[in-house]
Structure 1
Amino acid sequence: MHPSPVLCTIALALAGFAAPAFALAPAVASAQDFEPVLLGTAAGRPTAIEFAPGVDDQLYLSDKQGRVWRFRDGNYVGTPVLDIRASVDDTGEGGLIGFVFDPEFEMNGYFYLAYNMVSTTALSATVISRFTMMPGSVDIADPASEHIIKGPIPQQTEGHMGGDLEFGPDGMLYHAIGDGDAGSALNLPTAMDLSDPRGKVLRFDVRAPHPHVPADNPYAGSTTNDPHIWVSGFRNPFRLDVDPVTGDVFVGDVGASTAEEITRISVATDVGGFAGWPCREGFDCRNFPGCVCTGTTDIDPIAVLGHTSPDFACAIMGGTVVRGGPVASLEGSYLFTDFCSGRFYRIDDPSGAASVVEISDVLNAGGGSPIRYVVDFTVGNDGLVYFCSHYGAQVWVLEPRGGFGTYCQAASNSTGLAASIVLSGSPSISRGALQIDVTNLPPAATGIFILSQSTLSLPNFNGSQGTLCVNLPIYRWSAGGAASGSGTVSYLSDLTDLPPQVSIAPGETWYFQYWHRDLNPLPTSNASNGASVLFLP
């Protein structure tokens, strides 16, 4: 009897001959094509999370007490990048609140902090400062390199004292600072006082000489108004983000008694405008002295959450605009959450119609448990969304939802068990973290991975005792090596080490199997089951 053409061709493929790869049509991402993945738990009480330009192997966190940390492999790495606790007043809502890297960090080593400093003339004082890394380092900063951009700004209470720092596509530094009132009986009108920087979004040209006033700021050159003001009328704008495409600024303004707000500052129409506080909370007039609530040109919020049913919000934490990442359903949207409820939201077309969609059913820690106390978001160098929680100090990433699966029944080998292959890690090509684990192998058995773009179920192929689960063309991949003494193979691929004939594109499904030699009782071969992965950008 002559062997079949299929068996002959498969034997040649396993011997090292393979046909060219071909591409499949891209898959359409679903509305739930992502999931939260817990990266680890840090120490202390994080306040901001950032990536440094050009540094891909670690992220950075600031904490309330006054330190900046490196975070890698699930925890802080070594000693703090910077420790200014001796200068930081973290009483009440104070502390180190804002943190961002300079867009030209790779060349100048700069990063910026917004913190509350110990003051001898006021209850506390807010400062925005630039620090510099030690020469040639991305791990340790020079504590003596501080250059004050703005401040000290005297404070009268222990709340609403600081906020976020972000750079826009215009190269300018934006800072959101609270009104300094903290719900006290002072009823401070700071948010509407243009001579006072509090209760505003401020804008700085860090390339210009001190005091770093951009020439196109609405009050540049004024002798009565603060020249750094971009937009006024905020209560406690704890977090902001700047759309890297449009330049629009998105502000999460924490409310008082009734409403939480997301406000968009359009670079085309809202510069120099008034966002409503203390005259309005959400869309409700507060009858604050000197206010007019009707017939105004105030900037309206694009999203409002109530403190009672159905929202049960307490402190809005916005958020980030997602651009150019691997999760298709989030592209161009703005993500935010509520600190207490743990409910997450997406605003589609945030610079246009601004449609709000709750995504809490996707964003949970498993078993329906909400992720609470989130304090900051950022988009990493890989285009994925990262966020951290203040209480619990957890660090999360929104990964493309795993396109992993298994199929095809394996035959038992000499151990009496069937070898099992499982794929995990990330299906994202740009992330490059495909984990392959094979178990139930004969101890120290030699073998190889084989992969293909189509499936098969062919028992006893080419004289083997196993079942072939991948179809032609088949590609041999020697990564992973022989099994351990306990019969396992574990390999993490960055997807740059695949066989040279293999070219993987987003939307393609590939199928993997592990072929191995065996003695059962005579020399033979066998194979695991099959595993699949739908690759994402």
Structure 2
Amino acid sequence: MNPSPFRRCPIVIASLASLVTTSDAQITLVQEGDMVGSIGACTRIDDVFINNQADWLVRLDTDAPGAEDEVVLMNGAVLFQQGSPVGIPSPAGATFSFLDTAHLANSGDLMVLFDATLPAGGTASLLYWNGALLLQEGVTPMTAPGVAPGSVWDSIDEAWANDSQQLLVGGKVEGSRDCLALLTLDAAGAIVSEELFAIDGATLPGHPTPVMGFSLARGRQALNNSGVALWFVDDDHTVAGGSTANDSWMYRGMAPLWREGDPMTTPSGSVFGSLSGCEVDLNDRGDHVFQGGRDSSFVLDVLVVNDTTIIAQEGAPAPNIPGGFTLTAIGTLTPVFLTERADVLWYGDWDDPDTSQDTAIFFNQTPLIREGVSTLYGNTITTIGSTDKTFALSDNGRYLIAELISDAPSDPTLNGAYVFDLRPNLGTSYCGPAAVNSSGLAGTIRAVGSTIVADMDLTLRCEDLARLAFSFVIVSRTQGFAMNPGGSAGNLCLAGAVGRAVSGIIANTGTAGELIVPVNLMSLPQPLGAVSVVPGDTWNFQAWFRDSVGGTVTSNFTNGVTVTFQ
């Protein structure tokens, strides 16, 4: 088991040369056969999660004894192990049993919901926030208005979290009443408010019958960083006024968004089928995506953004798949992810007679990973998982984590968890390779993110620098070349007006010899004062860092990278 978050290796992804380059993809978190510490060898991948910083979490099975074989890894370290109290300070003596769900917030917060075995016997669902117990089944009070005084969480069935210290929690109270509630936490992780969305037996405004239940599966609800939720509720069709033709609803906040049987805006002439099986997502701009039935038959599922833009629909051509095949399935319990820019990641199956190559994970209309075509380490990917536990996408749309099976020579059904960086290096590298520095390597600089000024999402990654050295990025509109300027051991690749310390960052490279600079495009340093980047501008960047040669202190440089903005 590699202790670092990523191992780098080449990858070939079908039909995606414009989106993922083979040199930039970063893969292999853990594979079947990898040793997981001293616990045992990995035998199977069971669940995956990732965030915007590429922090990852994987639930896996090992060949350890049966009561100790499940392990949860976070960034390569063991977070939980079945039968172990590690990571569970409360209740005292409890041991980990099974991971239900997790959320790696982009803010750094961590939510995990899992079953634990109690020292007195039996099990309980525990919801942890940043390593501390937040909710315990059968113990923690549920105090939201609308719930009987003295109630506790009798079960905790599913939870969703955002980057604003809020959680949407579904479970049971008052013994057997299903409910859905929004919890808000303070900076210390304590609950400061609870808002009940709905509860069994209560009638929501405008509904003909009381609530009968919810659909508490991972992709059936969504919560954005403004605290807005998409959530499902089912009315009681067995009482007067009820009907199975229109008893399911999807809410946005506290307002109905869709109702079973209502007309869909797109595709025209369609109606919403039962919403209990639909998958949804919601971003911070307020965009939403719907994947579900466009009639009551469940035969023709559709994938639509903001009720207007069709991404895919069963019965239509499989997008960008040679052969003219037709989509036959876009999934039930198959996740759909909506990025901050309203791009959509989804899974599709089509009617190719050769069933060894009839599925793919798509990004909008582009197949990212295609069964029987895409490869890992030169081995063909033979199986792509289709459930909400087999792939996930970071909110910014950059990192895809997936459980895949490939036909390695040593194991024709090699199971592993892999991460793909979906954003290629930006701009053009020049003036390289740089002079070798005291690390024994030539320092490099690359740009990632977006060249669109309005996105404010450009980051400079400087790697293979001198270790434990102060460093910063310099910038100019003009390229140049000066060998060993001022006695430096490297080469200056800029000319003209050169600004120092992009984004005001002067940082130590650490033991990894790295410098990461998110670029403030509204304030690039220049000798006569900071300037803003505008579309059409071209800027050149280079890292400058302290170095030593034969014990003599000097400086060194990376190569340069030039970026033209839109």
**Structure 1 length normalisation: TM-score?**
0.51
Deviation at 1:128, TM superposition (A): 3.1
Paired residue for 1:420? 443
The one-character-per-residue Cα deviations of 1:303-337 (angstroms, maximum 9, x if unpaired) are 4599xx98786645242444x63xxxxx5x44322
Measure, in 1, the Cα distance between the counterparts of 2:484 and 2:306: 66
Partner of 2:561 in structure 1? 532
Q: What is the CA-CA distance between 1:40 and the residue it aligns to?
A: 1.1
Task: Determine the C-alpha separation between the residues in 2 that align with 1:168 and 1:518.
Answer: 48
Change (3 A) 1:495 1:111: same
After superposition, the C-alpha distances for 1:85-127 in whole angstroms (9 at most, x for unaligned) are 778899xxxx7346366xxx97xx86433346897xxxxx772
Q: Which of these residues, 58, 78, 83, is aligned with residue 131 of structure 2?
A: 78
Does the CA-based 8 Å contact 1:179-1:235 persist in structure 2?
Answer: no
Q: Residue 450 of structure 1 corresponds to which residue in structure 2?
A: 474
- Once residues 345 and 414 of structure 1 are traced to their aligned partners in structure 2, the CA distance between those partners, rounded to angstroms, is 42
Structure 2 residue 406 is matched with structure 1 residue 359: no
Corresponding residue number in structure 1 for 2:180: 129
Match of 1:337?
Answer: 347
Equivalent of 2:424 in 394, 401, 409: 401
> 1:443-502: CA deviations, max 9, x gaps?
887776533344334435566564332233322339546787x8x753333435964636
> Which residue of the partner structure matches residue 511 of structure 1?
541
State the AA in 1 paired with 2:385. Answer: R
Residues 427 and 67 of structure 1: is their aligned pair in 2 closer, same or farther, counting only changes over 3 Å?
farther
The question of whether the paired residues in 1 share the 8 Å contact of 2:260 and 2:275 is answered with: no
Match of 2:191 in 1: 141
CA contact (8 A) 1:128 1:151 kept: yes
- Worse overlay, 393-402 or 461-470: 393-402
Query: Structure 1 residues 39 and 515, CA, compared in 2 at 3 Å: closer, same or farther?
Result: closer
Q: Which moved more, 1:338-347 or 1:466-475?
A: 338-347
Deviations 1:168-211 (A, max 9, x none): 9999864346899xxxxxxxxx79x972579964145866xxxx
Q: How does 1:5-154 map to 2 (within 5 A)?
A: 32=19, 38-41=54-57, 43=72, 44-47=98-101, 49=103, 56-58=107-109, 60=111, 66-70=125-129, 77-84=130-137, 96-97=157-158, 99=160, 111-115=167-171, 127-134=178-185, 136-137=186-187, 139-141=189-191, 145=194, 147=196, 149-151=198-200
Which residue identity does 1:302 align to in structure 2? Q
Structure 1: distance between partners of 2:398 and 2:367: 17
Task: Note the residue ranges of structure 2 that are not aligned, 5 or more in a row.
Answer: 1-15, 27-49, 59-71, 73-97, 116-123, 140-151, 202-210, 263-270, 318-324, 350-355, 405-414
Going from structure 1 to structure 2, the CA distance change for 1:366 and 1:387 (only over 3 Å counts) comes to same
Per-residue CA deviation, residues 477-530 of structure 1 (Å, 9 max, x unaligned), is: 39546787x8x7533334359646364567855321426575679x79563341
1:240 aligns with: 280
Match of 2:291 in 1: 251
Of residues 327, 332, 336, the one that matches 1:319 is 336
Report the AA paired with residue 367 of structure 2.
Answer: E
* C-alpha distance in structure 2 between counterparts of 1:171 and 1:515, whole Å: 43
Residue 515 of structure 2 corresponds to residue 491 of structure 1 = yes
1:302 corresponds in structure 2 to 313
* Structure 2 CA distance for partners of 1:234 and 1:112, relative to 1, 3 Å: same
- Residues 258, 160 of structure 1: CA spacing in aligned structure 2 closer, same or farther, 3 A cutoff? same
What's the TM-score once normalised by structure 2's chain length?
A: 0.49
Seen in structure 2, the aligned counterparts of structure 1 residues 467 and 515 have a Cα distance that, compared at 3 Å, is same
Q: What secondary structure is seen at the aligned counterpart in 2 of 1:375?
A: coil
* Greater RCO, CA 8 A, separation 6+: 1
Contact 1:179 1:236 (C-alpha < 8 Å) held by counterparts:
no
The AA in structure 1 aligned to 2:183 is T
Whose strand proportion is higher, 1 or 2?
A: 2
Secondary structure of residue in 2 paired with 1:400: coil
Deviations 1:363-390 (A, max 9, x none): 989657576355289998x754777779
Hey, what does 2:45 align to over in structure 1?
Answer: none
Q: Distance in 2 between matches of 1:258 and 1:219?
A: 13
2:463 counterpart (437, 443, 450): 437
Greater Cα radius of gyration, structure 1 or 2 = 1
- What is the one-letter code of the residue matched to 1:421? T
Query: Which whole-Å CA distance do the structure 1 matches of 2:17 and 2:248 have between them?
Result: 36
Q: 1 CA distance for matches of 2:125 and 2:468?
A: 52
The percent of aligned pairs where both chains have the same amino acid is 11
- Counterparts in 2 of 1:427 and 1:364: CA distance versus 1, 3 Å: farther
Distance 1:517 1:395 in 2: 35
Check the 8 A contact 1:160/1:177 in 2, yes or no: yes
Q: Answer whether contact 1:47 1:97 (CA < 8 A) is retained.
A: yes
SS of aligned partner of 2:336: strand
Contact 1:510 1:532 in 2 (8 A): yes
Pick closer, same or farther for the CA change 1:505–1:140 going to 2, 3 Å.
farther
How far apart are the structure 2 equivalents of 1:151 and 1:406? 60
AA aligned to 1:527 is N
- Deviation digits for residues 210-267 of structure 1, max 9, x if unmatched? xxx86997999xxxxxxxxxx7632851522468889776134699999672355987
C-alpha separation between the residues in 1 aligned to 2:112 and 2:300? Answer: 26
The whole-number CA distance in structure 1 between the counterparts of 2:233 and 2:359 is 24
Are 2:210 and 1:202 equivalent residues in the alignment?
no
Secondary structure at the counterpart of residue 132 of structure 2: coil
Distance 1:100 1:219 in 2: 30
Gaps of 5+ in 1: 1-28, 71-76, 120-124, 181-189, 208-212, 221-230, 269-298, 326-330, 348-355
CA contact (8 A) 2:160 2:169 kept: yes
Partner amino acid, structure 2, of 1:99? W
* Distance across 2 between alignment mates of 1:372 and 1:336: 12
- Aligned residue identity for 1:113: V
How big is the shift at 1:41? Answer: 1.1
